[in-house]
């Protein structure tokens, strides 16, 4: 039986105004029973404070969807790790495929972001995943290995590091990876972590699956020993779907 606690992270993307985000957070707090599962919610920056207030006393952590890689200064529109920490954030997504695709961010940027998070004691959730074209070309493992290059400069894993395997073709498409595909990719990522940081760290690092996780698909995904939880977009915008996925995540591990 794995010692890794299951982890559910909601990525609300650019979908909720602060007032609607607070409302959704309150609905999730009312339904969710996170005793067996670690839970974090990542609203957009302007909603952080309202969601933080809604989550008070719930045991659900506040997360952010991104961070800038400089410490401070003349970077109009950017948000620093210190600002996120002061806002009550404890976990930050780095390397989401939407940042890679829309903003052209690359491993060197993510390495710097992770370094800034480490300085502030914030945990990174580093997202990796292949495109449909890369999978069809048999390149999935090479792509994942290259994306883990963002961790090359760290002799030890950044505290709190977790990975999210998010095949790009599964995000927001309703077409989740099969449990076998997810388990295979996670095992590969874990082997790569072992090469970098040693087997004990690899076996204690949580690897979440993301990409069209739904109440119907979650039990199959979470039945895989390798799958330590989910990074969930669309379904996390419904409190009842979130509660159903959390219930699947709380089921005892094989
Ligand atoms: C995501 O944005 O990280 C994600 C997995 O989205 P969805 O669950 O909607 O596919």
- 215 in contact with ligand 1, CB cutoff 6 A: no
Residue 188 catalytic? no
Q: For ligand 1, is residue 210 a contact (CB within 6 Å)?
A: yes
Given a cut of 70, whether residue 254 has pLDDT beyond it is no
Q: Is the CB of 95 under 6 A from ligand 1?
A: no
Give dist(CA 37, CA 29) in Å, integer: 13
Q: How far is the CA of 176 from the centre of ligand 1 (A)?
A: 10
3-state DSSP assignment of residue 163: strand
Distance between CA atoms of 33 and 48, rounded to whole angstroms?
22
The DSSP symbol for 67 reads: -
Q: Give pLDDT, residue 1.
A: 52
Spatial CB neighbours of 59, under 8 Å, sequence gap ≥ 6: 34, 35, 39
Q: Atom of ligand 1 at shortest distance to CA of 232? A: 8
* CA of 172 relative to ligand 1 center, distance in Å: 5
CA 72 to chain centroid, in Å, comes to: 25
Ligand 1 atom closest to the Cα of residue 213 is: 8
- Nearest atom in ligand 1 to the alpha carbon of residue 127 is 3
Whole-number Å distance between alpha carbons of 70 and 165: 26
User: Residue 54 in contact with residue 88, Cβ under 8 Å?
Assistant: no
Q: Does 236 contact ligand 1 (Cβ within 6 A)?
A: no
pLDDT digits (tens, 9 = 90+) for 75-130: 999 999 999 999 999 999 999 999 999 999 999 999 999 999 999 999 999 999 99
**Residues 185-229: tens digit of each pLDDT:** 999 999 999 999 999 999 999 999 999 999 999 999 999 999 999
Model pTM greater than 0.95?
yes
Alpha carbons 122 and 161: distance in angstroms, whole number: 9
Identify whether the C-beta of residue 127 lies closer than 8 Å to the C-beta of residue 93: yes
């Amino acid at each position: 039986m794995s010692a890794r606690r299951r982890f559910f992270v909601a990525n609300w993307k650019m979908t909720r105004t602060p007032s609607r985000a607070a409302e959704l957070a309150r609905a999730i707090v009312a339904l969710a029973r996170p005793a067996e599962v670690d839970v974090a919610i990542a609203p957009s920056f302007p909603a952080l404070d309202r969601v933080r207030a809604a989550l008070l006393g719930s045991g659900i952590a506040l997360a952010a969807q991104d961070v800038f890689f400089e410490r401070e200064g003349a970077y109009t529109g950017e948000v620093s790790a210190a600002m996120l920490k002061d806002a009550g954030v404890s976990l930050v997504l780095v390397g989401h495929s939407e940042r890679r695709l829309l903003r052209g961010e690359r491993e060197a940027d993510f390495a710097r972001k992770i370094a800034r998070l480490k300085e502030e004691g914030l945990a990174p959730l580093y997202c990796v995943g292949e495109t449909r074209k890369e999978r069809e070309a048999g390149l999935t493992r090479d792509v994942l290995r290259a994306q883990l290059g963002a961790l090359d400069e760290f002799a030890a894993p950044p505290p709190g590091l977790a990975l999210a395997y998010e095949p790009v073709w599964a995000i927001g498409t309703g077409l989740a990876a099969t449990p076998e595909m997810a388990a295979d990719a996670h095992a590969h990522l874990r082997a790569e972590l072992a090469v970098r940081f040693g087997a004990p760290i690899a076996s204690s690092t949580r690897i979440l699956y993301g990409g069209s996780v739904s109440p119907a698909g979650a039990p199959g995904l979470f039945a895989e020993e390798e799958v330590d939880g989910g990074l969930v977009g669309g379904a996390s915008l419904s409190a009842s779907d979130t509660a159903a996925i959390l219930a699947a995540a709380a089921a005892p591990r094989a």
